[in-house]
């Protein structure tokens, strides 16, 4: 399909999303299937309608951002966080600053609250959670999940932190209150600073190598010395030393 280059420019001007930072083949394939599904002839006519039609724009952003998530995704890695990494973070900071970047519909930051509650009272926990997709953040705020999303959680945690509502699981208010959700674009917006732990999982895979490299530098700057970056299971950093990060355990990197 012709016209992707100028579509990228127009989308950037219109939404602030820079499609050039995402792997092109994958992104083009997704957008083109959306264009055909909506019966547009090409990029140009699709964009003209996107500008006018809020639902279409929302569908576009939703489709683009792939919000798949689950509680305690890749449980073995969360076990490492709980048993090895968190105790050493807590030795340095009594109230660690934790950022769940690209948190999607909330499963990741809520998992963090449950994990931290093994070490401290709920009221002392504060998780910063961000995503580019306001639709995902709204769902996170509603906090209603199906059974599949909770499959990796210990049954005791499901009982303690959720209210059963028919086929759904509602995250309890006391968990929700400990998470501050905010819209944030990892490619454009300022990163927080002084973080003890940053969790950024299952989003880097969508970005080009150049973009990843810029982001690893920014994550480095966002961490305290000794702070830890936790990445997704297919997202190991090649030569982390380039970013002044030291491998601690597989999928965990420490700022020197
Ligand atoms: C597959 S989900 C990952 C959710 C969670 N971190 C996990 O591992 O289960 C990817 C998320 O990245 C978000 N995302 C994509 N591009 C982004 C960007 N430029 N800035 C912030 N978030 C972004 C999407 O909206 C989506 O919610």
Tell me, what CATH number does 181's domain have? 3.40.50.150
Beta-ladder partners of 22: 207
Rounded Cα–Cα distance for residues 78 and 73 (Å): 8
Asked if residue 52 lies in contact with residue 91, where contact means CB atoms within 8 angstroms, the answer is: no
Residue ranges around ligand 1 (CB below 6 Å): 65-69, 73, 102-104, 108, 131-133, 136, 185-187, 201-203, 232
Query: Ligand 1 mean position to 250 CA, how many Å?
Result: 21
pLDDT for residue 169:
97
pLDDT for residue 254:
98
Taking CA atoms, 183 is separated from 95, 112, 143, in Å, by 23, 19, 16
Ligand 1, closest atom to CA 133? Answer: 25
Query: Ligand 1 mean position to 204 CA, how many Å?
Result: 8
pLDDT for residue 62:
87
Domain check: are 85 and 171 in the same one?
A: yes
Low-confidence ranges of the chain (pLDDT < 70): none
Domain check: are 138 and 30 in the same one?
A: no
Domain that holds residue 141: 75-255
pLDDT for residue 1:
85
pLDDT for residue 220:
98
What does the block give as tokens for 206? 């969508």
> What's the pLDDT tens digit per position in 151-169?
999 999 999 999 998 999 9
What does the block give as tokens for 248? 């601690």
pLDDT for residue 64:
86
Domain check: are 146 and 242 in the same one?
A: yes
The verdict on pTM exceeding 0.75 is yes
Query: Ligand 1 mean position to 136 CA, how many Å?
Result: 9
Domain check: are 25 and 123 in the same one?
A: no
Domain check: are 103 and 47 in the same one?
A: no
DSSP code for 81: I
pLDDT for residue 150:
96
């Amino acid at each position: 399909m012709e016209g992707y280059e100028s579509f990228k420019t127009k989308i950037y001007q219109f939404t602030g999303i820079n499609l050039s930072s995402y792997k092109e083949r994958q992104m083009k394939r997704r957008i083109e299937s959306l264009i055909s599904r909506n019966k547009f002839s090409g990029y140009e006519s699709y964009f003209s309608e996107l500008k006018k039609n809020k639902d279409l724009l929302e569908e576009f952003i939703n489709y683009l951002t792939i919000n798949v998530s689950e509680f305690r995704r890749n449980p073995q890695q969360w076990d490492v966080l709980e048993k090895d990494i968190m105790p050493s973070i807590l030795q340095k900071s009594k109230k660690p600053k934790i950022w769940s970047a690209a948190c999607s519909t909330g499963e990741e930051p809520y998992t963090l609250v449950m994990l931290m509650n093994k070490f401290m009272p709920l009221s002392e926990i504060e998780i910063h959670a961000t995503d580019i997709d306001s639709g995902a953040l709204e769902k996170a705020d509603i906090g209603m999940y199906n059974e599949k999303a909770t499959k990796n959680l210990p049954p005791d945690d499901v009982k303690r932190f959720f209210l059963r509502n028919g086929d759904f699981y509602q995250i309890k208010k006391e968990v929700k209150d400990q998470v501050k959700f905010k819209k944030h674009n990892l490619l454009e917006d300022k990163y927080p600073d002084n973080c003890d732990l940053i969790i950024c999982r299952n989003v880097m895979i969508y970005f080009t190598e150049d973009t990843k490299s810029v982001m690893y530098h920014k994550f480095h700057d966002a961490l305290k010395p000794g702070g830890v970056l936790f990445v997704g299971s297919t997202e190991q950093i090649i030569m982390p030393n380039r970013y002044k990060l030291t491998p601690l355990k597989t999928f965990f990197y420490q700022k020197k």
